[in-house]
Amino acid sequence: MEDHELAPKEVIGACDIANINLQRALAYIDSDQNGLAKVLQEPKRVISVTFPIEMDDGSVDVFHGYRVVHSRTLGPGKGGIRFHPAVDLDEVSALASLMTWKCALIGLPFGGAKGGVICNPKVLSQGELRRITRRFISELGDNIGPYIDIPSPDLYTDEQTMSWVYDTYDVMHHGNNNRAVVTGKPVLLGGSEGRREATARGCRDVTEHFISKGLVPDLSEIKGARVAIQGFGNVGAVAAKLFCESGATIIALSDSQGGIVNEEGIDLAAASDYKNIHGTLVGLPETLSVTNDALLELDCEILIPAALSKQICAHNAENIKARLIVEAANGPITPAADRILAERNIWVLPDILANAGGVTVSYYEWLQNLDNNQWELDDINARLHKLMRKSTDAVVDRWQSLQRLTEERDTELGDDGADNASPYPADLRTAALTIGVERLAQVTAQRGIWP
């Protein structure tokens, strides 16, 4: 089985989803700011490049790559570069807008960006990946830079990829301190302590703080919760470890080839060793195999999609049994599924909050690089913890005021209320988006529109 096991079942484009979600937020924002919708619906800058690469067997292949900056209102572009066969401009553009909302929600001085190269890293050698990375970065030229647009890791790119990004840019701009051009580098090359674990750590901080508020019935702490995780990459594997450290039982894990289940709890060290040897988790002794689809529907308290987008759609949202879904991946739930989950009282901690730990520690890395400094791990984790809790509080507070607003509107509408009601719920995603969009609207008004 290949990655197609994770293929989405609902036919809706990534930008269509981003725009539906944006409209959901705009419905709650002061109407005179709504002119902004036109601006925010489209990316500010789109770069598409095509380049040849000499493959190991001597043949030449042509690759396509994209870098999209959705907004620079709050600062330089920031966001990952992914290497995946399913990369396309629509998806990269949607992911860039998610980065805008994410940075705005958390209060980071960055705009949103994303990049990607259409390729299958599983069949490429290290040499081929290096040549693809270097050529892609050289094609982007001065469109990236410490104060212009700062890439970082994403799906199937890692510290090694970021080292090549840095090296290529540094060769092209020697004589400067170029470390801040890219984040997610190895620590020796100016990477930040804690960056590798940051996305999963932020995910745990947000989950822990959210459930301590008592809003999820019968779930007030991670300890004792049964957790299913889709994905065993940088985010999924570290989330498994951290949730386990907090006392959860990890009952299911998966990779692109399928999932594994053990109701008593999976031995994570054994799972990592097995994956290193066999290239997959499937077949780990003392576990049963499940498909990635079936994993999502397991009976558990917390479900963490940490793989691809559009995994929980209209067709399977009815079957989800978890009480809380934590979006470690970007965009794993479609708007149609959001509605079904809300009707079923299943909570969703949205991606722009739940996985914001990664870009937050990327910001710390950028600050350390500009200052030629290296912070201590404990300081970094403490800062991250504080910011994730504060952002969670902000989202929950906003959600509560959206609830009040919705009730007032329904009362005003009286019997017609049902007919005029929004087709989408005022959930935590809408709440988080309203904070991000509102901040952007305010700063746009302060800066004014050029000229």
Shortest spacing between CB 199 and ligand GLU, in angstroms: 7
d(CA 271, CA 284): 7
**Of residues 44, 78, 102, 114, which has the active-site annotation?**
114
- Let me know if 114 is a catalytic residue: yes
d(CA 200, CA 355): 7
CB of 94 or CB of 284, closer to ligand GLU: 94
Q: Which three-class secondary structure state does DSSP give residue 135?
A: helix
CB of 78 or CB of 398, closer to ligand GLU: 78
Q: Tokens 């019997």 — which residue? A: 415
Shortest spacing between CB 358 and ligand GLU, in angstroms: 4
Peptide bond into 451 cis (omega under 30): yes
79, 45 in Cβ contact below 8 A?
no
CB of 17 or CB of 359, closer to ligand GLU: 359
CB of 6 or CB of 150, closer to ligand GLU: 150
Secondary structure of 393-418 as H, E, C letters: HHHHHHHHHHHHHHHHHHHHHHHHHH
303, 322 in Cβ contact below 8 A?
yes
Shortest spacing between CB 69 and ligand GLU, in angstroms: 13
CB of 67 or CB of 78, closer to ligand GLU: 78
Shortest spacing between CB 389 and ligand GLU, in angstroms: 19
Residues in contact with ligand GLU by CB under 6 A are 78-80, 152, 154, 183, 330, 355, 358-359, 362
110, 76 in Cβ contact below 8 A?
yes
Measured from each CB, the residue nearest to ligand GLU is: 80
Pairing of strands 258-261, 249-255: antiparallel
How many Cβ atoms from other residues are within 10 Å of residue 371's Cβ?
11
Shortest spacing between CB 351 and ligand GLU, in angstroms: 8
Beta bridge partners of 157: none
Closest listed residue to residue 341, CA positions, set 430, 274, 260, 421? 430
d(CA 201, CA 229): 14
Q: Which active-site residues does the annotation give?
A: 114
